[in-house]
A = this chain, B = another copy of it.
């Protein structure tokens, strides 16, 4: 499905120093443990160095230091993981879409589809939408009225953009993602919820990736925003009016409540939840399943939750946590009593 390349060609592509047989054909990529003689591997994590000696790989991407003493074929690069990332695309079996509109697609008369774009079977492109050059719109995609997909975008099958959603260049959106759904906006009138129309849209920057079944709601009044280079994994919920800063990455199952703003270059681990209307500054790391209940104003790492225990031990801990306030008071009281007893002795701690 992909063309074999020679090691020499790969060295040239990467600007790597070749150590070994330039004519060696490379047909794919694999880990050091699993690679066969026709496959290229890489050593990025030092803990896998032990596999270097016994690997069957046809060649290995290595740092100069690791290449010393390695007798196999090697491509020497400054950052083997990054080199692997770059070269991985050469061996990607993902089918390439051909330009043109599938005859089954329903495209509004006044939608603009660039001649180099590919529109898959049963796609629907509504009035005033714009599909840029080189864009792939997969089967069963829905592109709402006036929505825009910028140059080089790739939409997997079954992506839904509601109306008035603007997607930048080279954006990747996986199946089932929904951009521009109506945010959860209701006013309560004597116990009954009255819907608030969500009249804002969504603006997604360049080079963003949005994962499988992820939802990004439209803004209530102005746009929800996902800035350049942000990467959202699967099953994420981005509520209305949220702003995700550039180059911030979120792992799967994260939920961000309405109007919260997240800075640039943050890393939000899987399952994190954030309440609404808070600000998280740049360069923050939040660990998995943390509940973020207040703004974060200092870069750094943050966590909540408790460590896993065997169920029996956990039951004791959980019961004790409910007694904690009482324990704290008893501890304080005890300190006073001991102070009294030892009042003639050494002074109590200032703590």
Given A86-B194, A215-B213, check contact A158 B142 (CB 8 Å).
yes
Judge if A133 is at the interface, Cβ distance under 8 Å.
no
In Å, the complex CA distance between A27 and B342 comes to: 77
0/1 interface trace, chain A 101-118, chain B, CB 8 Å (1 if under): 010101000000000000
Closest Cβ of chain B: how far from A113's Cβ, in Å?
16
In Å, the complex CA distance between A217 and B212 comes to: 9
User: Is A213's CB under 8 angstroms from B178's CB?
Assistant: yes
Report chain B residues within 8 Å CB of A351: 326, 329-330, 333
The count of identical subunits is 3
Closest Cβ of chain B: how far from A131's Cβ, in Å?
16
In Å, the complex CA distance between A316 and B329 comes to: 11
Most B CB within 10 A of own CB, among A94, A104, A184, A285? A184
Judge if A335 is at the interface, Cβ distance under 8 Å.
yes
User: Is B95's CB under 8 angstroms from A145's CB?
Assistant: yes
Judge if A203 is at the interface, Cβ distance under 8 Å.
no
0/1 interface trace, chain A 77-108, chain B, CB 8 Å (1 if under): 00101101110110111110000001010100
Closest Cβ of chain B: how far from A8's Cβ, in Å?
21
In Å, the complex CA distance between A37 and B347 comes to: 69
Judge if A304 is at the interface, Cβ distance under 8 Å.
yes
Report chain B residues within 8 Å CB of A330: 331, 335, 349, 351
Report chain B residues within 8 Å CB of A247: 191-193
Judge if A54 is at the interface, Cβ distance under 8 Å.
no
Q: How many residues of A contact B (CB 8 A)?
A: 142
Report chain B residues within 8 Å CB of A91: 197, 199
What residues of chain A have their CB less than 8 Å away from a CB belonging to chain B? 28-31, 34, 79, 81-82, 84-86, 88-89, 91-95, 102, 104, 106, 120-122, 124, 126-127, 138-140, 142, 144-146, 156-158, 160, 162-164, 172, 174-176, 178, 181-182, 184-187, 189, 191-199, 209, 211-213, 215, 217, 221-222, 229, 231, 233-235, 237, 239, 247, 249, 251-253, 255, 257, 265, 270-271, 273, 275, 285, 287-294, 300-331, 333-335, 337-338, 340-342, 345-346, 349, 351
Give me the 5 closest cross-chain CB pairs, A-B, nearest first. A301-B311, A92-B197, A88-B197, A303-B314, A181-B212
Could you write out 23 A-B pairs with CB less than 8 Å apart? A79-B189, A84-B187, A85-B196, A93-B146, A93-B163, A93-B199, A94-B162, A124-B157, A156-B162, A181-B212, A193-B231, A211-B215, A213-B215, A255-B270, A291-B305, A291-B308, A303-B315, A313-B325, A317-B322, A317-B324, A321-B324, A326-B351, A327-B327
